[in-house]
Each structure stands twice: as structure tokens, then as C-alpha cells.
Structure 1
Amino acid sequence: MMTTEAVPGLIDATRCPLCGELNRCAIEIERETGQAQPPCWCMRVDFSKAPLTNLPEEMRGLACICMRCATGAAPQSQD
């Protein structure tokens, strides 16, 4: 029987699990590098417009979403 659960080692914690952009979370940068970081932008943002329901349950809590997704902003056009 196959499982659909996400494997934490296969999640790129430096990228937003919703759009794939760099998430630039200072907390994650500090965890990876061991170097102290200033307070992260994610501590000051209202996540109420974030499309978190688009993220499968098994992928939640494994990687930070980016500021654009966190605020519910539309993707930048690539014209």
C-alpha cells in the first residue's frame, strides 16, 4: 500500500510549499545556518488571507510560506 504522506526530508524548507518561491523566513535561515537573524517578517504579517486550504494536510507545518502567499497577494506577472 502506497502512502501519500509528505516526507520531511523531501520538502525544500527554503521554498514556499504553495508557489515554490523562496520564502526567506529568518527563523528557517537561522535554523539552517546557526547564525542569529533579526525578527522575521512572518512574525508581523496577518496570515488570514493566506490560501492555506490549498496546501494538503500532510504538507502543513513542514515549510514556511512566502510573504506573497501569506498575504494573499496575486503572483507577479511575467510579461
Structure 2
Amino acid sequence: MNTNLCPACGKLNNCAQATSGSEVTHCWCFEIEVKPQALQNLPLEALNRACLCPACAGAVREAASSKQDGGSD
């Protein structure tokens, strides 16, 4: 299994942990909440082995809503 690819869509997941050989202190996924429904359709062998990409994890939608909420003040 290629841990650099999202198990849901097959695109690069941009996971710092997958590309680093050492302990990672920061990754995009540390700052978002992965939507539980994003994990429901993954193959069992992918769970806890390969990271979702930001789009499949729901990070893109979360970032867009945060910008909209912050911009309206």
C-alpha cells in the first residue's frame, strides 16, 4: 500500500508523516477534524495505514467555511 496516496481517491494525500522518515511535529491533518463519514467506505486494510487527502477528509470544506465565517465580521 502506498501511504502517500489517499485510499479514498488515489490522489496524493500530502501527509507529512507518510513522506518523513522521522517523527513529525506538524501536518495539515493536525489542525482539522476528519469527518467520520469520510472513513466509512474505506477498505479495512487502509484504516490507520494511509491518510486521506485534504479533500476526502473534509478539510477543504472546513477551510472554506472558516474563511467565510471569519470574513463576515
Report the CA distance between 1:48 and its aligned residue: 2.1
Distance 1:38 1:61, change over 3 A: closer
Unaligned residue ranges in structure 2 (runs of 5+): 62-73
2:11 corresponds to which letter in structure 1? E
Greater percentage in helix: 2
Contact 1:50 1:71 in 2 (8 A): no
- State the distance in 2 between where 1:50 and 1:73 align: 15
In the alignment, structure 1 residue 29 sits paired with structure 2 residue 19: yes
Using the size of structure 1 for normalisation, the TM-score is 0.63
Tell me the distance in 2 between the aligned counterparts of 1:73 and 1:13: 20
Q: 1:5 — aligned with what?
A: none
Instruction: Count the aligned residue pairs.
Output: 61
One-letter amino acid of the structure 2 residue matched with residue 43 of structure 1: F
Give the RMSD, CA atoms, in angstroms: 2.4
Partner of 1:14: 4
1:9-43 deviation line (CA, Å, top 9, x unaligned): xx111100000010011111112xx5x76610010
Q: Please list every run of 5 or more consecutive structure 1 residues that lacks an aligned counterpart in the other structure.
A: 1-10, 75-79
Q: Give me the TM-score of the superposition, normalised by structure 2.
A: 0.67
* Structure 2 residue 44 is matched with structure 1 residue 57: yes
